[in-house]
Amino acid sequence: AQSVTQPDIHITVSEGASLELRCNYSYGATPYLFWYVQSPGQGLQLLLKYFSGDTLVQGIKGFEAEFKRSQSSFNLRKPSVHWSDAAEYFCAVGGASKIIFGSGTRLSIRP
């Protein structure tokens, strides 16, 4: 069965520091993988997606994610966070069937 695990409920990082948000998935075939961001009071916006090919994908707002099949992971990274990155981040897996979303990681930025 499809599943997505985001082990970190809440992360706080200092402005300018690097960021890595973890995501592990379970899927029976080649997955489609997504990261979404939700700012307070907003809907979910797609940051980036992986379907095939290069396992390092670039997204909007300076984010990137790396697909590691051997670890069933799709971690999100950013080299230097900005205060405006404070939001909720959702990892999701899809493919032949409906997308399954993780429970989200709330990112806070320390000035």
Partner 1 sequence: DAGVIQSPRHEVTEMGQEVTLRCKPISGHDYLFWYRQTMMRGLELLIYFNNNVPIDDSGMPEDRFSAKMPNASFSTLKIQPSEPRDSAVYFCASSLVVGNEQFFGPGTRLTVL
Where do contacts with partner 1 occur on this chain (CB under 8 A)? 32, 34, 36, 42-46, 49, 90, 94-99, 101, 103-104
- Least separation in angstroms between residue 106's CB and partner 1 is 11
- Least separation in angstroms between residue 60's CB and partner 1 is 13
Residues whose CB is less than 8 angstroms from the CB of residue 78 and which lie 6 or more positions away in sequence, other chains included: 18, 19, 61, 62, 63, 64, 85
Cβ nearer to partner 1, comparing 80 with 103: 103
Cβ nearer to partner 1, comparing 92 with 109: 92
d(Cα 26, Cα 7) in Å, to the nearest integer?
Answer: 14
Cβ nearer to partner 1, comparing 56 with 96: 96
End-to-end CA gap in the chain: 41
- Least separation in angstroms between residue 17's CB and partner 1 is 27
Asked whether 78 and 87 are in contact (CB, 8 A), the reply is no
